[in-house]
Amino acid sequence: MRCANRHLAPALFALLALIDAGVASQPAASNTGFAAEIASLSEPEGAFDTDNLISNERNYLQVVPALISKGVAGGVYIGVGPDQNFSYIARIRPALAYIIDIRRDNLLLHLLFKALFARSTTRVEYLCLLTGRPPPGDLARWRTAPIAQVVAFVDAQRPEPARQVHLRKQLRSAIVEFGVPLSAGDLETVDRFHSAFTGAGLDLRFNTHGRAPRPYYPTLRELLLGTDGTGTTWNYLAEEGAFQFLKSLQARNRVIPVVGDVSGTHAMRAIAASIARQGRRVSAFYVSNVETYLYSERSARFAENVRRLPHDARSVIIRSRFSPDGGSTSVLAPFFEEEGERR
């Protein structure tokens, strides 16, 4: 993690990154607004001691039936972390999504995901490219395949290093075209992230820095095959329509990764103002277990930031709770509990 000078404005950080890079080409016109919005909403990064390439929340899908029964749909989605957000987005079908995280690395990871969505025509191809495995020849035949069959196919493929090198060059080129100012180090970080996926394949696990890996963390395979407890699979790669919705949202630059602290003084408030200007409201805010890291004034600022988000009676917060043995539980709470309101 780099130590950021928190006195510099986000726009100046973007400019300095562009000067340092020497690798960013002129973005396509359609991507200029995407990059500009990221720069205007983001704030200097902070540090956190995990890689967060995938989730450590084994039961992240157990709230999906409640999202459906409560009519949580449309609007604007806000979330933290990596691609578990995509499974929530695929069910809520928002018009716009913001992924906010204190780590700049999360922004880089989501640019990798965005490039993979652009490069893939189907979900089986996406998962193959994410893990560096050769996709099947007849992609159309896999559109209706159950996720267990897709996972079994990917597991059966052997990595092809030459193909991975070529793919990484394509992904790097696509990421540069998104227009976000990136240094050579940023692009090396993206390569490192993709190498982690291709090296471990579906055995990849959440990892913390300076601590031994926890055996109870789910693998990527287990997250893909996870259910809501009744046997229903809700991962965004479990059904072609869910993947295609996300692919379309990404292509229209409607999934916007933001560097920011949920208890900070800029990013969350800038997101709230942007949502208000558009006349939209937040349908769901996935906070994981971030609140457990917020103390005293940071907790108060988080509550104030939540209050600023445009919302209605159906807006919900998605939380994750962890037990001492590493088990996780996902729960829903209405926004007004954050405000102390009684409706």
The alpha carbon of 40 is separated from its chain's Cα centroid by a whole number of angstroms, namely 19
H or E stretch including 117? helix 104-119
Question: How much is the pLDDT for 51?
Answer: 66
Q: Is residue 5 part of a domain?
A: no
pLDDT in the model for residue 4 = 38
Tens digits of pLDDT across the chain (343 residues): 333 333 334 443 343 333 333 333 444 556 789 999 999 999 998 776 666 899 999 999 999 999 999 999 999 999 999 999 999 999 999 999 999 999 999 999 999 999 999 999 999 999 999 999 999 999 999 999 999 999 999 999 998 888 899 999 999 999 999 999 999 999 999 999 999 999 999 999 987 766 666 777 899 999 999 999 889 999 999 999 999 999 999 999 999 999 999 999 999 999 999 999 999 999 999 999 887 878 878 898 999 999 999 999 999 999 988 877 767 889 999 986 544 443 3
Domain-located, residue 322: yes
The residues, ordered by sequence, that sit 6+ positions from 85 with a Cβ below 8 Å of its Cβ are 77, 79, 97, 99, 286
Q: What does the pLDDT read at residue 294?
A: 80
Its pTM stands at 0.88
Task: Please give the pLDDT value at position 119.
Answer: 97
Q: Does any domain span residue 3?
A: no
Total count of domains within the chain: 1
Q: Enter the tokens of residue 73.
A: 């749909």
Kindly state whether residue 66 falls inside one of the protein's structural domains: yes
User: Would 241 be classed as within a structural domain?
Assistant: yes
Residue numbers of the domain that contains 81: 10-339
Q: With beta carbons less than 8 A apart as the criterion, state whether 98 and 306 touch.
A: no
Is the residue at 313 inside a domain? yes
Does some domain include residue 4?
no
DSSP symbol at 276: H
Dist. CA 269–CA 267, nearest whole Å: 5
Residue 17: per-residue pLDDT: 38
The verdict on residue 285 lying in a domain is yes
Nearest to 4 by CA among 39, 36, 47, 42: 47
